[in-house]
Amino acid sequence: MKNFEFHNPTKIVFGAGTVEKLSTLVPQDARVLILYGGASAEKTGTLAEVRAALGQRSVQEFGGIEPNPSYETLMRAVEQVRSEKRDFLLAVGGGSVIDGTKFVAAAALYDGEPWEIAERGGANIGQALPFGAVLTLPATGSEMNSGGVVTKKATHDKLSVRSPLLYPQFSVLDPGKTFTLPAKQVANGLVDAFVHTTEQYLTYSVQARVQDRFAEGLLQTLVEIAPQAIASPDDYETRANLMWTATLALNGLIGAGVPQDWATHMIGHELTALYDIDHARTLALVLPALLDVQREQKRGKLLQYGERVWNITEGSDEERIDAAIARTRAFFEGLGIPTRLAAYDLGQEAVEAVLKQLEAHGMTALGEHRDIDLARSRRILEAAL
């Protein structure tokens, strides 16, 4: 196991009826800006609950944060924070809203052009506003980590930002808030959490047995609950397990002391920025193809994954790896999420466009071994056609 330091300061408040606890979680004298996405937060009553819990505090709202939050939208929120002297942010939504709130928290106090924060990956963040979250869509784990992703629509740039200053002070996780989600968003969340886990698990062994078993347990849980999560939207226990699994998939625990990949995400980000495909759906496009191209580098873990997650124990090593990749692809497809670029009417022209963006963003040495250069990215993308 590799040396590591682990610290996660986010307080999790989990369970039914927990939105009301905002009354004690948010400072009494806070000048709050609530950030949210579309109309669903209002229609479902979640915003009304949040307003009630905040009581007599000074509260303003900013809506319209998109999936894959845009720099252009977030800068309008930054202007509101500055002009109205807001000093506490509250994200109400899924990963995109929380990611966007993280950027606003840093950008509002940044002395310079805020896009520089994204260009430097957050390394230049010296201060950030305090913020919390009310999670309504389990998927990204942003509610308990210090990272986020921001897209600049004008240039099709989708960049990651990370800083110790971007952990939420708290996150409220009420599984009941997921009952009204469209099935498509639930499926996306299942895939997102699954791939977050594999990015930290399907690399190479460093004898980190705790992390391996933890990751395998998360993957098994997602496979086990997926049918019920889609078929029975008001099944509280299933949604509770989905919500907590998605949080644990990217709160730092399973990634501590182990090599990490993230090439699937880097390639997927370019597909989202160029073609506006949902983030999770780009991951489903890339991961099976990447596992096939990288099978030698990942051989030991692929065999372990096949046996422990999918119970694949028969056949030669190559047959077992083939089966593990096929089961992964079938899992995504079974959720209604395509694993081929052709499903989005994309062909060789998309391969060339993504490669051009990867080169422009310096993504020329990806993966746990840093061996996924542009030529190998081409093989991965062409394997996904």
Per-residue confidence in pLDDT tens, the chain, 385 aa: 999 999 999 999 999 999 999 999 999 999 999 999 988 899 999 999 999 999 999 999 999 999 999 999 999 999 999 999 999 999 999 999 999 999 999 999 999 999 999 999 999 999 999 999 999 999 999 999 999 999 998 998 999 999 999 999 999 999 999 999 999 999 999 999 999 999 999 999 999 999 999 999 999 999 999 999 999 999 999 999 999 999 999 999 999 999 999 999 999 999 999 999 999 999 999 999 999 999 999 999 999 999 999 999 999 999 999 999 999 999 999 999 999 999 999 999 999 999 999 999 999 999 999 999 999 999 999 999 9
For residue 67, which phi and psi values (nearest 5 degrees)? -60, 140
Predicted confidence at residue 252, as pLDDT, reads 97
- Please answer whether residues 264 and 29 qualify as being in contact, where contact means their C-beta atoms are separated by less than 8 angstroms: no
| CB neighbourhood size of 205 (10 A) | 13
**CB hemisphere CA count around 108 (13 angstroms):** 27
Return the bridge partners of 70, or none. 151
Residue 308 has a pLDDT of: 98
Position 215 scores a pLDDT of 98
The answer to whether 64 and 80 are in contact (CB under 8 A) is: no
CB 219 within 8 A of CB 197: yes
What's residue 39's pLDDT? Answer: 87
| Residue 273: φ, ψ to 5° | -65, -35
Distances (CA, A) of 70 to 29, 83, 115, 313: 30, 20, 11, 45
Side-chain half-sphere exposure of 345, counting CA atoms within 13 A? 2
Residue 249 vs residues 105, 128, 193: alpha-carbon distances, Å = 24, 25, 6
Q: Which pTM was predicted?
A: 0.96
**What phi and psi values does residue 242 have, to the nearest 5 degrees?**
-65, -45
In angstroms, the Cα distances linking 125 to 65, 107, 112, 114, 131 are: 22, 8, 11, 10, 15
Residue 384 and residue 339 in contact, taking contact as beta carbons nearer than 8 Å: yes
| Per-residue DSSP letter, 233 | T
Contact 63, 104 (CB under 8 A): no
